[in-house]
Structure 1
Amino acid sequence: MDIIEMTDEQGNWYKYKRYDGRPYVPLVYGNVKDQLQLLDSYEFRNDDVFLCTYPKSGTHWVHNIINMLRTGSMKHQGGHELMEFHDIKRLDNMSHPRTIATHITYNILPSTIKCGVGKIVYVMRNPKDVFVSLKCFLGLLKKNVYEGDTDGLLRIFLSDEFGIGVGGSWFNHTKEWDNAKSVNTALNIHTIKYEDIKRDPYGEIEKLAKFLETDSSVTFLDNIVKHIEFDRMKEEHTKSAGATEQWAHLCENGRLPLYRKGIIGDWRNMLTVSQNEVFDAAIKDKLSTLVQEGFPSDECHDVMRFENRQSGLQQIKSTGAQEVLSEMDDRRRREKNILVFGVKEQTSSDGKERKGKDEKEIEEMLRASSLPSEARKCVTKIFRLGKFDKEKEDQF
């Protein structure tokens, strides 16, 4: 294992561990080779649940959901055991049933887990939001692994050679897990998307409860939904449960800055146009390659569809005719609760068929938005933009 410190031409500094051609964040316990070998020989249990994520993908959030489902207790769990970051003896001291988290890429996962021991919950999040969350997280630590500007961190994040993770970049992590789900039939795995939990927490928790074979009664799941609301979790994390001695060298009271905004799409507020273009190019190149290699990925398709849809809306906003923009402003003055989407006009001569296609397209856009499910349910009427007619005013 090597400990590498590098400084690029712009003065950005990065420190990481490297073993067997793979990058690892310095937080990996001790010597990477020794830690991986100890984990590989460890006897995990059939009732273990493994929470597998790339950093900043909702690990702490989902860990609390799993614990609530499995124990029936609504008590907030301040920290989660990441098996690569701790002395392996800590696994023996965990109370059962154990929920063990890891950021390890699939190819270096302990052999017993690959052979089907325990259940795996795999969480994925839009990589742009992962990057923004990671950038803000690193900026709040007292002792850092990166010092520099956003452009430098983005180059590292997108790089397979230096990627910030445990064994690889976000793209490597995604590709290896996607491949595993396709070819390893021994895995007992359930995939969750961060965005889906935000939009439909009850529905996603219900699916997870069935996978984990826990209580799935309406009252129980409603109680969990209430207790895992972002603001409530953030407040709970400020209490004693969030403080740990292990991370005292990184942050005040050892309380990691795990909760920030908890929203979808904050990358739009943080990335410049050029940074977004660099990201888009990497997504197109690396995710397209993944599909071409024969490992179809619903998650990757979702990311690509999401990005394409957003870029399409942005183009409509920037190139729309002046009269359409004027009408949009006029409607906003008359009705503040109107959402405007760019939908290609349908060619069918059947009015009902056109309306049905419009509704379906807009429904997909709403799912990709950051609107909560309650707000989406309030959409009751759909109008196509056209020349404003005074006689139609009452419809609005």
Structure 2
Amino acid sequence: MAASDSDPPILPLLWDEDNEGLSQECRDLIATLPAEPDWFTQKLYQYKGLWLFKRIVQAVLNCQHHFQGRDSDVLLITSPKSGTTWLKALTFAIINRKSHDPNPTRISSTHPLLTANPHILVRTLEISLYNGHAEPDLSLFSSPRLFASHLPYVLLPESIKSSRRKKVYLCRNPKDIFISYWHFMNTLRREIQENNMMENFFKQFCRGVNLYGPFWDHMLGYYKKSLEDPNKIMFFEI
């Protein structure tokens, strides 16, 4: 499985407002999108009803244009701070149980989860694969390929939506998401903590103006699809 670096170190690059590296298509699109200031970055842009950093908009375009899925693929989907790391580790252990015994009493010291972050083992499409790369090399990913994403259903590539490949959606209480997101972003950007009032961010979160928000639109998009075709989308909550 190909891996170079994990998702977390890439995150600060995503809120860079510089247009360098953005395609003309993306720049033209960004110019037409509603924008609002974000308490942790500079701006969020509303694309098809959801709020994204401009570099994620570019990654979404890259993914939509170039990602070619396989029926054996498995895609893990969450809103940020919904148990993504846990879901990645659990699913990786299940899929690779034949080559790496997950039983704690028999687990080998060579098990990948003992030495690598789950974000390295299960790459996120729009953050670590298609961010800065229009066509990343996916040839080294063994089958069944396991990917993750925070994208709402409406922004998934058509090759994912129209295929038989499995999608797993993990939902978390939005109150817990808010608190986790608040602490996580303050840890990443300590220089802005004093000026970052929780009350202001809470109001913004309730309005749905947060990364990959609104929460309810994100969650309901997958919940409704899971009711239509439970064999394609497994929806569960923690």
TM-score range, shorter chain: 0.5 to 0.7
Equivalent position SS for 2:124: coil
Residue in 2 that maps onto 1:36:
60
Q: CA deviation at 1:110?
A: 1.1
Higher strand fraction: Structure 1 or Structure 2?
2
Contact 2:69 2:159 in 1 (8 A): yes
Q: CA offsets, 1:52-81, max 9 Å, x none? A: 110111111011111111111243141131
Gaps of 5+ in 1: 195-396
Q: How does 1:173-252 map to 2 (within 5 A)?
A: 173-183=218-228, 185=229, 188-194=232-238
Length, aligned pairs only: 182
DSSP-derived class of the 1:120 partner: strand
The SS at the match of 2:70 is coil
Contact 1:27–1:85 (Cα < 8 Å) also in 2: no
Question: Is the contact between residue 114 and residue 187 of structure 1 (CA under 8 Å) also seen in structure 2?
Answer: no
**In the alignment, which of 114, 125, 131 is matched to residue 83 of structure 1?**
125
1:164 aligns with 2:211: yes
Question: Aligned partners of 1:50 and 1:156: how far apart in 2?
Answer: 29
Is 1:123 matched with 2:167?
no
Summarize the Cα distance change of 1:138–1:40 in structure 2 as closer, same or farther, 3 Å threshold: same
Q: Give 1:112's match in structure 2, choosing from 159, 172, 183.
A: 159
Question: Structure 2: how far apart are the matches of 1:144 and 1:113?
Answer: 39
Partner Cα distance (1:101, 1:20) in 2? 20
State the alpha-carbon separation in 1 of the partners of residues 164 and 203 from structure 2.
37
Query: Residues 142, 120 of structure 1: CA spacing in aligned structure 2 closer, same or farther, 3 A cutoff?
Result: same
Aligned identity (percent) is 24
Paired position in structure 1 for 2:23: none
Shift of 1:187: 5.8
| Partner AA of 2:172 in structure 1 | R
Separation (CA, whole Å) in 2 of partners of 1:56 and 1:144:
21
Is the 8 Å Cα contact of residues 23 and 163 (structure 1) preserved in structure 2? yes
Shift in alpha-carbon separation, 1:97–1:159, aligned structure 2, 3 A = same
Which has a greater percent of helix? 1
Deviations 1:342-395 (A, max 9, x none): xxxxxxxxxxxxxxxxxxxxxxxxxxxxxxxxxxxxxxxxxxxxxxxxxxxxxx
User: Structure 2 vs 1, CA of residues 15 and 46 (structure 1 numbering), >3 Å: closer, same or farther?
Assistant: same
CA distance in 1, matches of 2:91, 2:52: 27
CA distance in 2, matches of 1:140, 1:55: 15
Residue equivalent to 1:137: 184
2:133 maps to 1:102: no
Instruction: Look up the SS of the partner of 1:84 in the other structure.
Output: helix
CA–CA distance in 1 between the matches of 2:190 and 2:137? 24
Whole-angstrom CA distance in 2 between matches of 1:111 and 1:143: 39
1:118 shift after superposition: 1.3
Report the counterpart of residue 252 of structure 1 in structure 2: none
Match for residue 61 of structure 1 among 86, 105, 117:
86
Q: How far apart, in 2, do the equivalents of 1:107 and 1:156 lie?
A: 22
Tell me the CA shift for residue 174 of structure 1.
1.3
**Structure 1 residues 83 and 163: CA distance shift in structure 2, 3 A:** same
What is the CA-CA distance between 1:117 and the residue it aligns to? 3.4
Instruction: Mark the CA change 1:81 to 1:130 in structure 2 (over 3 Å): closer, same or farther.
Output: same
CA distance in 1, matches of 2:143, 2:40: 41
- Is 1:6 the counterpart of 2:33? The answer is no
Contact in 2 for aligned 1:51/1:63 (Cα 8 Å): yes
Q: Per the alignment, do residues 158 and 14 of structure 1 end up closer, same or farther by CA in structure 2, a change over 3 Å counting?
A: farther
The structure with the largest alpha-carbon Rg is: 1
In the alignment, does 2:66 pair up with 1:24? Answer: no
Equivalent residue, structure 2, for 1:48: 73
Question: CA offsets per residue over residues 137-160 of structure 1, 9 Å max, x none?
Answer: 001104889961111111121223
Residue equivalent to 2:25 = none
Structure 2 portions without partners, runs of 5+: 1-29, 103-111, 131-135
Change (3 A) 1:25 1:38: closer
1:5 deviates by: 6.2
RMSD: 2.8
Rate the CA distance shift 1:143–1:96 in 2: closer, same or farther, 3 A: farther
Structure-2 residue corresponding to 1:244: none
The 3-state SS of whatever aligns with 1:101 is: strand
Structure 1 runs of 4+ aligned residues shifted over 4 Å read 2-5, 143-147
Inter-partner Cα distance in structure 2 for 1:117 and 1:15: 39
